[in-house]
Amino acid sequence: MTDTVPETKRQPVEDWATDFDHTHPDYAANAPEIWDDLRERCPVAHTERFGGAWLPTKAADVRAIAEDTDRFSSRGIIINDFRPELDIAPRGYAPPITSDPPFHQEARRLLLPPFSPKKIAEWEPMARACCQELLDEVEAELTAGGDVVDAATAYAQDIPVRVIAAMLGLPAEDGDKFRMFIHRILETPGQHEDIDPGETLVAYLSEKIRERRETGADGDDLISYLLTVEDPDGNHLSDEHVFGTIALLLIAGIDTTWSAIGASLWHLAQHPEDRRRWVEDPDVRLFAIEEFLRFYAPVTMARLAAEDTEVGGCPVKKEDWLLLSFPSYNRDPEAFEQADEFVIDRARNRHSAFGLGIHRCLGSNLARLELTVAIEEWMERFPDFELADPGTVRWSTGQVRGPRCLPVRVLGQEVSA
């Protein structure tokens, strides 16, 4: 890739096998090449950064870690210089993603019905209208002058924000705030010392939850649901639980889906044959969406080793971090035929973009809906487009990977007023 690499405070990486740093801009720009190289010469990479972390790149190792919740705890899922306190287990800061069994199961079960395929399908008209509205704005901008638009910021980033805000019952205008919180937490963890305590996710959500308690939690939104839902013993959820889950739903669904939409548009911008196939063959779309998710899987999770153990023959110490690279899994030639090629009609695609095992992405049905609708609507409006300047595309750092700046030139549009 020839994309730009911005300035960073991170130390340069000499060797990715012994000193990797997924928060370095070089990783953001070249991650697939780095995984391929590591898989061949050192499939479980290590770093002393973050107090010691491992990066397994083979599908078999990633699956083994995801399935073994005894040896690998979800108490920490975003690698940081600090480890979350031991006494927050088994619930963790943001249940269910930071929870281990058996607590995990209950925390997750109460969220499954609103995120089930049939319930999520009800959000399709809203998601579609949101995409169309954003495209109207993009079109107006193009009409006003020029043929270039930043597909990441003018389109992709707003779709998941508007949908999850509606589901939670929060104002869509707060979207910029949500993205600022998320950028700090996911893309540049531990790199902020000077934050105004009034301008944090904690302050924002605590206020919203307090408001909701005062006005009565009787809406059909998810915040009201969490404030009123009862566990099997008839108890309400603790305040920490409600707060953690709302924070999770807000954080987990935005950067991730934005990244998936952006990366898919980045691909289409460079592949006229895939654009043509998408337009001419509606049956291929179901497969194309899964191939976007495989090839550009945006999410890497982490675990903390619960005991001294080994992964792929490497000695892992208790409390070491492990990156769970679902994106690297998806490019392992031992798990996929032609793993390094984007095959738009790939029929056998057992990808792990939404994780594996008990933490399977709770929002996967929503994410898939948003991604499908976003690409359908974009392609309906702008079937032909290209990268305006590959040198200006910028990918996010950290555990969620997608284009954050994606200027594309819309082609062959008779711009009409």
65 binds ligand HEM (CB under 6 A): no
Strand partners, 45: 55
Distance CA 393, CA 382 (A): 19
Which option in ligand HEM, other proteins, none does residue 407 bind, with CB closer than 5 to 8 A by kind? none
Minimum CB distance to ligand HEM smaller for 65 or for 142 = 65
Minimum CB distance to ligand HEM smaller for 109 or for 317 = 109
Which option in ligand HEM, other proteins, none does residue 363 bind, with CB closer than 5 to 8 A by kind? ligand HEM
User: Quick one: which segment of 83-91, 177-185, 188-196, 348-356 binds ligand HEM (CB under 6 A)?
Assistant: 348-356
Distance of CA 23 to the CA centre of its chain: 15
256 binds ligand HEM (CB under 6 A): yes
Question: What are 224-228's contacts with CB under 8 Å, separation 24+?
Answer: 224/169, 225/114
Number of residues that bind ligand HEM (CB under 6 A): 28
Minimum CB distance to ligand HEM smaller for 42 or for 336 = 336
267 binds ligand HEM (CB under 6 A): no
Site string for ligand HEM, 82-111 (x = CB under 6 A): --------------xx----------x---
Site string for ligand HEM, 167-186 (x = CB under 6 A): --------------------
71 binds ligand HEM (CB under 6 A): no
362 binds ligand HEM (CB under 6 A): yes
Task: Collapse the DSSP code of 229 into the 3-class scheme (helix H, G, I; strand E, B; otherwise coil) and give the result.
Answer: coil
Asked whether 402 and 262 are in contact (CB, 8 A), the reply is yes
Minimum CB distance to ligand HEM smaller for 186 or for 248 = 248
Which option in ligand HEM, other proteins, none does residue 77 bind, with CB closer than 5 to 8 A by kind? ligand HEM
Site string for ligand HEM, 274-313 (x = CB under 6 A): ------------------------xx-x------------
Radius of gyration of the chain (CA): 21
Distance CA 201, CA 262 (A): 25
**C-beta of 102: minimal distance to other proteins in Å?**
15
Q: Give me 214's structure tokens.
A: 């005062």
Buried residues in 234-264 as b, exposed as e (16+ CB within 10 A): eeebeeebbbbbbbbbbbbbbbbbbbbbbbb
Which option in other proteins, ligand HEM, none does residue 301 bind, with CB closer than 5 to 8 A by kind? ligand HEM
Distance CA 177, CA 186 (A): 14
Binding-site member from 249, 305, 322, 373 for ligand HEM (CB under 6 A): 249
Amino acid sitting at position 164: I
Residue indicated by tokens 């984007």:
342
385-387 and 407-410 strand pairing:
antiparallel
321 binds ligand HEM (CB under 6 A): no
Which option in ligand HEM, other proteins, none does residue 74 bind, with CB closer than 5 to 8 A by kind? ligand HEM
**C-beta of 123: minimal distance to ligand HEM in Å?**
11
Binding-site member from 260, 268, 339, 374 for ligand HEM (CB under 6 A): 260
Which option in ligand HEM, other proteins, none does residue 73 bind, with CB closer than 5 to 8 A by kind? none
Tell the burial category of 126 from Cβ atoms under 10 Å away from its Cβ (0-12, 13-18, 19+). Answer: middle
Residues that bind other proteins (CB under 8 A): 109, 112-113, 115-118, 286, 290, 347-352, 354, 356-358, 360, 364-365, 368
- Please provide residue 401's backbone torsions phi and psi, each rounded to the nearest 5 degrees: -115, 120
Q: What is the DSSP letter of 338?
A: T
Minimum CB distance to other proteins smaller for 42 or for 344 = 344
Distance CA 105, CA 358 (A): 8
Distance CA 236, CA 52 (A): 39
Residues 6+ positions from 15 with CB-CB distance below 8 Å: none
Which option in ligand HEM, other proteins, none does residue 159 bind, with CB closer than 5 to 8 A by kind? none
User: In terms of Cα–Cα distance, which of 272, 291, 276 is closest to 345?
Assistant: 291
**C-beta of 98: minimal distance to ligand HEM in Å?**
8
User: Between the CA atoms of 214, 220, 226 and 231, what dihedral angle is there, to the nearest 10 degrees?
Assistant: 120
Distance of CA 68 to the CA centre of its chain: 22
Binding residues for ligand HEM, per CB under 6 A?
66, 74, 77, 96-97, 108, 160, 164, 248-249, 252-253, 256-257, 260, 298-299, 301, 326, 353-355, 359, 361-363, 366-367
